[in-house]
């Protein structure tokens, strides 16, 4: 079989996707990951480098990958004892399995020569990152709508749904950037939270400190803007829309834009998002202990999957084996369709971007089903 190696230049196509049990999968494909030797890598053997830096695959795999030419240095096959040097190009040719996402449509809400807005389903990243490339909003728009060369005006976390705005040219993107820097944009989200949220506008004005290692933000106790506390100044306004006594739907207006700001501010005021495992408790298990976080996929550019967990769904894997995709004998994920660690169920966060407004413009997105309390 002749292998066709893809790179980032290969556009996603409609036939790349498989829909199964409410999830959107990407048919595994051959891909060349390219990296350059970092200072801390220099002086290590090529096998030891990979075994130490990328522990998602066994040592024996890297030995075979180097010997077979699936790991190359400066486009040359090298021995397993080869010592790498700074700035050298390393290619890792992999059989790539992308994580699944919830099988929602990336629907176009508005389109004109300068701007396109879309409805982003929960669980789909906006742009290529970590193990995701085709299973992204940008990739799906390219595959299913032949839309490319977009400039994202803002981003949503992978588990968040709602409005996404893209500029279709650099001039329009620059116009949006200037409005953002001038503080002229108003952002509106809705969230479904625990308990009966208080009536009237509630303002949380508390510094937010993001811990990248844990993938989680913290509110500085007593922190207020300008008081010298750690973290970054953050302010969110909240207004209850409805409540059924158990949950409330709340309008959220972030004045600043810190990582996980709405989520952690809702936790801070005693009403966390009702299905937000990361912020429902102040004593969530450390990401560094379990190996994953709220958004699960923050892996390296060399595409090494997480170590397997105990949630493997054997019945799912048996069904996936019958699908039409290439099984590669060297692949550490085959014969399963998803990469290791992604066989379990996942639901979208009950947080949804409703509207963005600026000088002379406003774009909105329909509400999700969970916004209707019963």
Point out the residues that are catalytic: 157
Residue 300: Cβ within 10 Å count: 13
DSSP-derived secondary structure letter, 67: H
DSSP secondary structure string for all residues of 242-289: EE-SSEEEEEEEESS--TTHHHHHHHHTT--BTT-TTTSSTTPPPHHH
Quickly tell me which residue has 């949950």 as its tokens.
Answer: 247
C-alpha 79/C-alpha 66 separation (Å) is: 7
Report helix, strand or coil for 363.
strand
C-alpha 338/C-alpha 132 separation (Å) is: 12
Q: 34, 59 in Cβ contact below 8 A?
A: no
DSSP-derived secondary structure letter, 14: G
Q: Establish whether the linkage from the previous residue to 261 is cis, with ω within 30° of 0.
A: no
CA 273 centroid distance within chain? 19
Q: What are phi and psi of 15, to 5 degrees?
A: -75, -5
Nearest residue to 149 (alpha-carbon basis) of 113, 198, 103: 113
Quickly tell me which residue has 């949220």 as its tokens.
Answer: 197
C-alpha 22/C-alpha 269 separation (Å) is: 35
**Tokens standing for 129?**
């990152």
Q: 114 — alpha (psi -120 to 50), left (phi > 0) or beta?
A: alpha
Quickly tell me which residue has 């550019």 as its tokens.
Answer: 301
C-alpha 157/C-alpha 351 separation (Å) is: 10
CA 269 centroid distance within chain? 26
C-alpha 153/C-alpha 156 separation (Å) is: 10
Q: What are phi and psi of 89, to 5 degrees?
A: -85, 130
CA 18 centroid distance within chain? 19
């Amino acid at each position: 079989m002749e292998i066709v190696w893809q790179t980032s230049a290969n556009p996603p196509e409609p036939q790349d996707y498989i829909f199964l049990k409410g999830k959107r999968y990407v048919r595994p494909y051959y891909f060349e990951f390219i990296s350059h030797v970092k200072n801390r890598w220099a002086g290590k053997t090529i096998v030891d480098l990979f075994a130490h830096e990328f522990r998602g695959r066994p040592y024996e795999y890297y030995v075979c990958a180097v010997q077979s030419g699936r790991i190359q240095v400066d486009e040359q096959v090298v021995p397993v004892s080869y010592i790498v040097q700074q700035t050298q190009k390393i290619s890792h040719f992999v059989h790539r399995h992308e994580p699944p996402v919830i099988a929602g449509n990336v629907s176009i809400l508005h389109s004109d020569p300068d701007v396109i807005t879309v409805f982003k389903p929960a669980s789909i990243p906006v742009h290529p990152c970590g193990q995701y490339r085709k299973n992204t909003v940008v990739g799906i728009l390219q595959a299913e709508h032949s839309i490319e060369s977009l400039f994202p005006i803002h981003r949503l976390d992978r588990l968040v749904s709602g409005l996404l705005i893209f500029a279709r040219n650099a001039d329009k993107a620059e116009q949006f950037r200037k409005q953002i820097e001038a503080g002229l944009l108003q952002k509106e989200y809705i969230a479904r939270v625990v308990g009966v949220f208080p009536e009237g506008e509630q303002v949380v004005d508390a510094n937010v400190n993001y811990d990248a290692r844990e993938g989680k933000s913290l509110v500085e106790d007593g922190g207020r803007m300008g008081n010298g506390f750690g973290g970054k100044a953050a302010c969110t306004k909240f207004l209850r829309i409805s409540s059924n006594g158990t949950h409330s739907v709340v309008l959220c207006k972030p004045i600043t834009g810190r990582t996980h700001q709405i989520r952690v501010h809702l936790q801070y005021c005693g009403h966390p998002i009702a299905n937000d495992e990361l912020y429902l408790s102040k004593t969530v298990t450390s990401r560094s202990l379990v190996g994953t976080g709220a958004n699960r996929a923050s892996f390296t550019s060399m595409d090494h999957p997480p170590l397997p967990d105990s949630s493997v769904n054997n019945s799912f894997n048996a069904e996936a084996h019958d699908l039409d995709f290439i099984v590669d004998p060297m692949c550490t994920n085959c014969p399963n369709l998803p990469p290791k660690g992604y066989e379990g169920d996942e639901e979208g966060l009950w947080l949804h971007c409703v509207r963005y407004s600026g000088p002379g413009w406003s774009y909105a997105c329909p509400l999700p089903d969970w916004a209707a309390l019963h």
